[in-house]
Amino acid sequence: MQDDTVISEDANKDAENDAEVAAELAGVPDSLTESGDDEAALQDRIASLEAQLAEAKQDMLYARADTQNVRRRLEKDAQDARAYAATGFARDILSVSDNITRALQAIPEDVRGDEKWKGLVVGLEATGREIANVFGKHGITRIASVGLPLDPNQHQAMIEIPSEDAEPGTIVQEMQAGFMIKDRLLRPALVAVAKKPD
């Protein structure tokens, strides 16, 4: 009696296995199951599908990397736009600052002490200080030049002056002040550079 139970269980298992194999073969074309090249054709088809899958994965990875690069570039451009938004305006205001500085330098000492002109002098000085404060708030700084070696990234040499006191290539005079906006050059300093006397 027990042997009959074991045989019926084995028969049920065989029937289940046959059903699974039939279900797997249901998706395979009849031409493949009937021909003698079944195994080779299936292996070729699997290899082809695996190659397509690998290519699709590679394309997806490239697309993801490209998207990340575009996002980083856009974030950097947005940061630069915020940091350097005032560049054009700052360049225009530099000429105003230059004119105020020249006006203050042109006032003779006897006029500075004259009570009649005191209001004008004080007003020009206050305006110059206010422009310097505004520049400071926006990261605009003056480039140091006199007494330093010429730096082509910040200075533009206009003339050479023979000098025994300064090393050749040292800036001895500033003709126009240069400015940086954060870490970028806004305007180079126009300078005179020392050279060996003839």
Q: What is the pLDDT at residue 80? A: 81
115: Cα within 13 Å, side-chain hemisphere: 0
- Reported CATH class of domain 140-198: mainly beta
Count CB neighbours of 150 within 10 A: 17
Distance between CA atoms of residues 123 and 105, nearest Å: 14
Count CB neighbours of 4 within 10 A: 8
**Who wins on pLDDT, 3 or 113?**
113
Dump pLDDT digits (tens) for 63-75.
Answer: 999 999 999 999 9
Rg (alpha carbons) of the chain, rounded to whole number: 41
Task: Tokens 């533009």: give the residue.
Answer: 156
SS3 24: helix
Task: Tokens 């054009």: give the residue.
Answer: 88
Distance between CA atoms of residues 15 and 164, nearest Å: 109
Dump pLDDT digits (tens) for 4-52.
Answer: 444 445 545 555 555 554 455 455 555 544 455 688 889 999 999 999 9
What pTM does this model have? 0.60
- Measured between its terminal Cα atoms, the distance across the chain in Å is 127
Distance between CA atoms of residues 80 and 71, nearest Å: 14
Q: Determine the Cα angle at 155 with ends 154 and 160, to 5°.
A: 165
Residue 189 DSSP code: E
**Who wins on pLDDT, 55 or 8?**
55
Mean pLDDT across 123-147? 92
Residue 1 has pLDDT above 90, yes or no: no
